[in-house]
Chain A
Amino acid sequence: MIKLSPTSWLAIAIVAVLQTVALASMVYGRVTLLRDGREIVAEVIPVDPREIFRGDYVILGYGFGRAEVPVPAGTVQGDTVYVTLKPAAAPGQWDVVSASGTYPSEGMGAETVVLKGIVSYVSGSAVPGELPKAAVRYGIESYFVPEGTGRELENQVREKKISVVLAVGRSGDVAIKALVIDGKRVAEQPWL
């Protein structure tokens, strides 16, 4: 039996080891997702601040996030949804195919991709028989700007198009892998 007290090195080690394991598992999950996840490129619109890279982070807007995602009836705020996307005609653009409460079992073609998201707002459907529409967050809406690199990135951006490279895991988890400005990957860091 361990003595529960800060005078016991064993007790101290238990706390330190468990907290370290918690942090390490966080990192491990991200690194495996970035390494093994399928890469997709999506165009983004900086939502806030307008002058991207001036603040500590930017809020990124995705076409498929702002788009009113049709969700199954009975979906409420805070629910997890799996949104299936398929590439649109323009590169970096994605269209919402469908959304469901569980991970879609059958594939809808190799080009489609499924993202796990959380419903942040449901607007009821006005037309009966039509699915309610929801705004969905995927956890990829913030890009933290490395300190000191904001000015340089800002100069690169100007009027050019910005995209992000996303890594999508097999259960729909998604992470930001890199930023793409005018077709070039910038600010990409080693995974670890």
Chain B
Amino acid sequence: MWSYRKRLDRDLVRWREAGWITPENEAAIRHDAERGVRTLGLANSLAILSAVLIGFAVMSFVASNWQDMPRVLRLGLLIASLWTSYGLSGFFARRGMAGFSHAAILLGVGIFGGSIMLISQMYHMDGNPAGAVLLWAAGALLAGVVLRSNPALAFAMILVTIWGTMEALRLDKVFWLFLLPWALVSAAFYWQRWRPGLHLAGLALTGFVVSLGYRLNDGHAHGLVVAMGLGIMAASMAGERLKPELPALWSGSFNYGLVIVLAGLWALQFFENPPLDVFTLLAVLALALLIAAIFWGLKSGNRGALWLGYAGFSVEILAVYVETIGTLLNTSLFFLVAGLIVSALAAMAYRLHSRGEAQAKGALS
């Protein structure tokens, strides 16, 4: 929301100066944008916060009187609070207070999870904590789909990721089964057409792919990770050609592919301790890839790739600097060469840019 307003601010000034809108139009647009953000944004965040606070109040009250209650009363209390929160969500939704309604759903999902933990504790169950998390995730997914609640779905994705991590650590191997609930929750995000959710799904899968490098081939499969990331990037670039009507999907998957490649390259450079010549080669590859990503970001209007490129470039340079201090490689020479290459690229980019500008002007006039 905030970024939208900032951008709108800039654009409005530009449009007024270009004479496309009158100052009255500008004021009207600003007024409209202001109203939408203020009322909805603040009310929704307060609703979520109030749900958290009330949840804590109920929990601490119950906790202090918990032991004096017979088990059956405790169970009744848990289920009553579960039903109350879902009832509240219906009450709010029917009055058009969507934010409050989603907060109540999230509260219900939280109480469901709390109930699982409390029942386990009541009966001294210590079998499989990961199983409890999976059951909780299933409840969150159910609420997210049946009540079409994005916050509940986001929570389901977080729980699925926690579950996958716990199982991978417990079994000490790649936990492929993670992909099944991941796909279910991702499908729900897609069905809801909720972009932040899809980003969450992308982030979770990125983590999974990167973890493969540390699990497969006795923990030395980072080359595979790099290859997979490159594959995802290539597929996204091809996808953008073939189906240009889904730009957000392609730019998103391109960026996650880039993150995967970088994670793999960094593991190869700094985790595997390669000999100096291999290390240098990898560093040059990483820098070349990042510059390519910046180019691609500029060319296709993918701001994520642009920023990932800049940030990754800085991190790579810094890491190489730290790694090569005091080694045989002449650090200053490395940076001199890198600097020269980048400045040549910058000159090239400048030329491309001004040519593009001239073409655009020619087309306009």
Contact = CB atoms under 8 A, between A and B. Distances in A.
B94 interface: yes
B48 to A, nearest CB: 15
A11 B87 CA distance: 11
Contacts, number: 120
Contacts of B145: 4
A15 interface: yes
Contacts of A22: 112, 135, 138-139
Interface in A7-28: 7-9, 11-12, 14-16, 18-20, 22-23, 26-27
B206 interface: no
B119 A12 contact: no
A133 interface: no
Given A12-B147, A26-B116, A142 B142 contact: no
Contact of B126 (A9, A12, A77, A139): A139
Given A27-B75, A77-B172, A15 B116 contact: no
Contacts of B147: 4-6, 11-12, 15
Contacts of B102: 6
Given A22-B135, A23-B115, A140-B124, A16 B148 contact: no
B146 interface: yes
A141 B78 CA distance: 25
Interface centre among A18, A137, A149, A190 (most CB of B within 10 A): A18
B71 A192 contact: yes
Interface centre among B78, B127, B149 (most CB of A within 10 A): B127
Interface in B253-294: none
28 contacts: A5-B147, A6-B89, A6-B102, A15-B86, A15-B142, A15-B143, A15-B146, A19-B82, A19-B108, A19-B139, A22-B112, A23-B75, A23-B116, A26-B119, A27-B75, A27-B119, A27-B123, A57-B121, A78-B170, A78-B171, A78-B172, A118-B128, A139-B126, A142-B126, A144-B122, A176-B124, A190-B72, A192-B72
Given A18-B142, A176-B124, A190-B70, A5 B79 contact: no
A146 interface: yes
Interface string B122-136: 111111100000010
A139 B66 contact: no
B105 A6 contact: yes
A144 B87 CA distance: 32
Interface of B: 63, 66-67, 70-72, 75, 78-79, 82-83, 86-87, 89-90, 92-94, 101-102, 105, 108, 112, 115-116, 119-128, 135, 138-139, 142-143, 145-149, 170-173
Given A7-B93, A20-B79, 19 more contacts: A6-B148, A11-B147, A12-B87, A14-B146, A15-B86, A15-B142, A19-B108, A19-B112, A20-B83, A22-B138, A23-B75, A23-B116, A26-B116, A76-B173, A78-B171, A139-B127, A142-B126, A147-B66, A175-B124
B123 to A, nearest CB: 4
Nearest to A147: B67
Given A15-B147, A77-B172, A141 B90 contact: no
Nearest to B191: A4
